[in-house]
Amino acid sequence: MTEAASDFITTALSGYDLLADSQLNKGAAFSEAERDAFNLHGLLPPNVLTLHEQVSRSLQALRAFETDLERYAFLSEIQDANETLFYALLVGNLEELLPIVYTPTVDAGCQQFSHLFHKPRGLFLSLPYKDRIDRILAQPHFDRVEAIVVTDGERILGLGDQGAGGMDIPIGKLALYTGCGGLNPATTLPILLDVGTDNPDRLADPLYIGWRHERVRGQDYDDFIEAFVSAVTARWPNVLLQWEDFAKSNATRMLERYRDRLCTFNDDVQGTAAVATGALLAAINVTGVPLTEQRVAVLGAGSAGCGIASLIRAAMRDAGLSDEEAGRRFFMVDRDGLLVERMAGLASFQLPFVQAKQAVADWKLGHPDKIDLLDVVRNAKPTALIGVSGQAGGFSESVVRAMAEFNKRPVIFPLSNPTSRAEATPQDIETWTEGRALIGVGSPFPPLTRDGARIKIDQTNNSYIFPGIGLGALAVGASRISDGMFMAAAKALAGISPARDNPKHNLLPPVSALRDVAVTVALAVALQAHKEGLAPNVPIDTIEARILARRWTPTYRPYRRAGAAES
């Protein structure tokens, strides 16, 4: 029985050229017939392996390494050599490999990027070559690009400015787009906008591979971003563009500037908001405190913290509160304490969440000149505490014990990445609340033991959201990414919470189910895009089929030599 022609991949490459193409290389899995057709005999060992056998051998080698950074480097080498094998490894072992491919190990990958660099992946667009962006993007190799993740490396996780080392973030995010969302890796493109760095360690490193220049800001920076966006939209009018790890001063304003020009979103602002909102909505099934009665304290009033507050506030409005009533239920704490009206230096995106001075006038404070987080918890008695500050220890024992004093089941989400920057560890929160807290973390932590049973901690990470956002938007050709689409994603995530059926279960599905989660989120997002008129030419009854048809699965397809006669 012969396969249909459409089941074959046709290529003109052969020999070492074929083996050097990471998207086509099968390594020792090339069949005898393919070795004949593509001049591979002698270039490979004689034994023909299956993909399953390659995965087993790779896992054995991976697990033999002593450190996660070594495993990270090993997986990167596999990805650069054979993408099908890399994604077969990832898809089949999501729970084990996600912490290595992405957070928390990616933080070390970013810091060591220049030392680990061995093969180009994606694009490095440096400011001195601004006038060449069009020519760089025009290369035929990028004709199939549909999804881009871009960073300028200034606010990498909780590490700060990593310059060109920030490239590992787009690479890692797009690995999850494929591993979890099912996007074809041949249609994805990681990009680093190199505008220099202010990190003295990077600049002093003789092996640093980025532009050795202090970070450019102001109008020159804005002009470079404009040149980039203009070139991208001209090259790929329907592309999905995700902004990643930009500094607070740029993240929200860039999103607002470009969100109506192309299909784009900022994962730190909107993705983090959606997963936090979804987890909070799921927690309501356990705490019994309705959304309209929630009081939310957020440590970290930057773009991520205010993004979370904005989406939860919108959910409160959907539940019946007025905008003013909902706004009063947020207590945003930054380095200078609680945000209150007429405080100096407030950003525009923070203004909707400042507390009136009159509202806090009679609070009992530990320090007369600053309202800190402990003051907020003791006076406002929040039902939920969310951390996106990048400040290890930001949730002190006093703060967590106060949350437990005022709530039967306190909701505590230390979401900062990597694990070294988490506001508190799950074990400490468990101890300080006597096992009553509902805990969500941004990076993986070891399970807890509660009443003799091992309890997995919910990884309240954007990987539950952005793969489905991208899959759903691309499946229906959405012209824009709206706030309503993120709300739909959050509610869809809450809708599949295991705690809906049993309050003793986790708030979120297991990491091993992220591919199924992505489909659920994608369907909700696509339907919302259709409802808002952002995908007007797509019949609603075809949406689910479009989503499923777009999912790429890492398998080896047979190859046919270009020009060979079809049988």
When pLDDT is cut at 50, 70 and 90, the band that residue 289 belongs to is: very high
Q: Within a domain: residue 18?
A: no
**CB 157, CB 103: distance < 8 Å:** yes
Of the candidates 246, 262, 289, which is a domain's last residue? Answer: 246
pLDDT of residue 318: 95
Read off the pLDDT of each residue in 323-342 and give the average, rounded to a whole number: 94
* 124 and 204 together in one domain: yes
List 72, 102, 208, 464, catalytic entry = 102
Q: Average pLDDT over the chain, rounded to whole? A: 95
Give me the DSSP letters along 42-54: TTB-SPPPPHHHH
**CB 360, CB 371: distance < 8 Å:** yes
List, for residues 113-167, the tens digit of each pLDDT value: 999 998 889 999 999 999 999 999 999 999 999 999 999 999 998 889 999 999 9
Residues 369-395 as b or e (16 or more Cβ within 10 Å = b): eebbbbbbbbbbebbbbbbbbbbbebb
How far is residue 24's CA from residue 15's CA, in Å, rounded to a whole number? 12
List, for residues 188-232, the tens digit of each pLDDT value: 999 999 999 999 999 999 999 999 999 999 999 999 999 999 999
How far is residue 478's CA from residue 547's CA, in Å, rounded to a whole number? 13
The CA-atom distances, in angstroms, between 343 and each of 336, 338, 348, 356, 514 are: 9, 9, 12, 10, 42
* 521 and 391 together in one domain: no
Residue 28 in this model has a pLDDT that exceeds 80: yes
* 438 and 293 together in one domain: yes
Q: Within a domain: residue 92?
A: no
Q: What is the CATH number of the domain that holds 307?
A: 3.40.50.720
pLDDT of residue 565: 53
When pLDDT is cut at 50, 70 and 90, the band that residue 7 belongs to is: confident
* 481 and 458 together in one domain: no
For residue 116, which of 173, 67, 45, 189 has the smallest C-alpha distance?
Answer: 67
102 is catalytic: yes
List, for residues 432-443, the tens digit of each pLDDT value: 999 999 999 998
Domains identified in the chain, total number: 3
Kindly state the percentage of the chain with pLDDT values over 70.
98
When pLDDT is cut at 50, 70 and 90, the band that residue 60 belongs to is: very high
Q: What is the CATH number of the domain that holds 228?
A: 3.40.50.10380
Q: Which domain holds residue 184?
A: 101-246
* 149 and 185 together in one domain: yes
List, for residues 453-466, the tens digit of each pLDDT value: 899 999 999 999 99
Residue 285 in this model has a pLDDT that exceeds 60: yes
Amino acid letter, residue 453: A
How far is residue 473's CA from residue 523's CA, in Å, rounded to a whole number? 9
List, for residues 375-398, the tens digit of each pLDDT value: 999 999 999 999 999 999 999 999
How far is residue 211's CA from residue 225's CA, in Å, rounded to a whole number? 16
Query: Checking DSSP bridges between strand 240-243 and strand 263-266, what pairing results, if any?
Result: parallel
List, for residues 196-208, the tens digit of each pLDDT value: 999 999 999 999 9
Q: Within a domain: residue 262?
A: no
Q: Within a domain: residue 431?
A: yes
pLDDT of residue 368: 80
* 469 and 459 together in one domain: no
173 is catalytic: yes
* 345 and 419 together in one domain: yes
Helix (H) or strand (E) holding 41: none
Q: Within a domain: residue 555?
A: no
* 418 and 442 together in one domain: yes
**CB 148, CB 192: distance < 8 Å:** no
pLDDT of residue 248: 87
The token duo for 195 is 């505008």
Of the candidates 190, 213, 246, which is a domain's last residue? Answer: 246
List, for residues 12-24, the tens digit of each pLDDT value: 999 999 999 999 9
How far is residue 173's CA from residue 150's CA, in Å, rounded to a whole number? 10
* 349 and 229 together in one domain: no
pLDDT of residue 4: 41
* 394 and 539 together in one domain: no
Q: Within a domain: residue 49?
A: no
Q: Within a domain: residue 60?
A: no
Q: Within a domain: residue 117?
A: yes
List 173, 177, 258, 556, catalytic entry = 173
* 115 and 223 together in one domain: yes
pLDDT of residue 5: 42
pLDDT of residue 564: 63
Strand partners, 297: 331, 385
pTM over 0.85: yes
* 458 and 469 together in one domain: no
List, for residues 470-483, the tens digit of each pLDDT value: 999 999 999 999 99
Of the candidates 246, 279, 299, which is a domain's last residue? Answer: 246
